[in-house]
A = this chain, B = another copy of it.
Amino acid sequence: MVDKQGQGVVRGPGRPREERVTRAALDAVVALVAEQGMSAVTMDAVAERAGVSKPAIYRRWSGKQELIIAAAEAWIGELSVPDRGDFRAELHELLTARLESYRQPGVDRLLAGVIGASAEAGADRGAYGAYSARVMGETRRILERGIARGDVRADTDVRAVATMVAAPMVFRLVGELEPPDRHLVDAVVELVGRAVGA
């Protein structure tokens, strides 16, 4: 989800965009969600909280949906697990990292909001899908590395297993009363290890 203005290395004429505005807006979204829930994420409220004007926001993102998605992405951050020589350890590391990012207050609502936004008509499925794809991608990478390495069974249905690893965290976060915890991480890794370990 890039800004409307590409804003690469070269820059056109005219006053450049202020980075401060971009950051302030995204932070404001996060703060509002965490404190008062998604319904408090009003464009006016974001503008006021960020000390920024509405037009300045609309210059960067085409609407509320895009803003929320951008905020979610910026907040949740990157996921990447290096080769540790053992797929069980790597899965554990990935899930623990995700657990960490989900522990911030309000992520559950923000994520639910993003999922909701992806239900709109014009929404590129990418709304929540982009995040989903990123999580899936890293999970698959670990499994494929394991197959290459030999500690994951060669006949493993990588996509299905990755889904079973990736999905429970979000499922618990969004749908259940208790958020995901270390216990869930341990159990998932244990079960997957048992099912596809070589």
Of B112, B136, B171, which contacts A118 at CB under 8 A? B112
Q: Are A38 and B164 in contact (CB under 8 A)?
A: no
- The residues of B that contact A196 with a CB separation of less than 8 Å are 191
Interface size bracket, A side: 35 or more
- The residues of B that contact A120 with a CB separation of less than 8 Å are 37-39
Q: Are A164 and B191 in contact (CB under 8 A)?
A: yes
Q: Which of A99-126 contact B (CB under 8 A)?
A: 108-113, 115-123, 125
Contact string against B for A residues 168-179, beta-carbon threshold 8 Å, 1 for contact and 0 otherwise: 101110111100
Whether a CB of chain B sits under 8 angstroms from the CB of A11 is no
- The residues of B that contact A117 with a CB separation of less than 8 Å are 116
- The residues of B that contact A129 with a CB separation of less than 8 Å are 175-177
Of B36, B115, B192, which contacts A174 at CB under 8 A? B115
Q: Are A37 and B187 in contact (CB under 8 A)?
A: no
Whether a CB of chain B sits under 8 angstroms from the CB of A194 is yes
Q: Are A112 and B121 in contact (CB under 8 A)?
A: no
Q: Are A113 and B121 in contact (CB under 8 A)?
A: no
Of B38, B110, B177, which contacts A121 at CB under 8 A? B38
Report the separation of the CA atoms of residues A198 and B14 in the bound assembly, to the nearest whole angstrom.
68
Report the separation of the CA atoms of residues A16 and B21 in the bound assembly, to the nearest whole angstrom.
25
Of B123, B132, B161, which contacts A175 at CB under 8 A? B132
Once A118-B112, A194-B194 are accepted as A-B contacts, the answer to whether A184 and B170 lie under 8 Å apart by CB is no
Q: Are B112 and A128 in contact (CB under 8 A)?
A: yes
- The residues of B that contact A166 with a CB separation of less than 8 Å are 171
Whether a CB of chain B sits under 8 angstroms from the CB of A188 is yes
Other 8 A-B pairs with CB < 8 A, given A38-B119, A163-B172? A39-B121, A113-B119, A116-B119, A118-B174, A129-B176, A132-B171, A163-B171, A164-B164
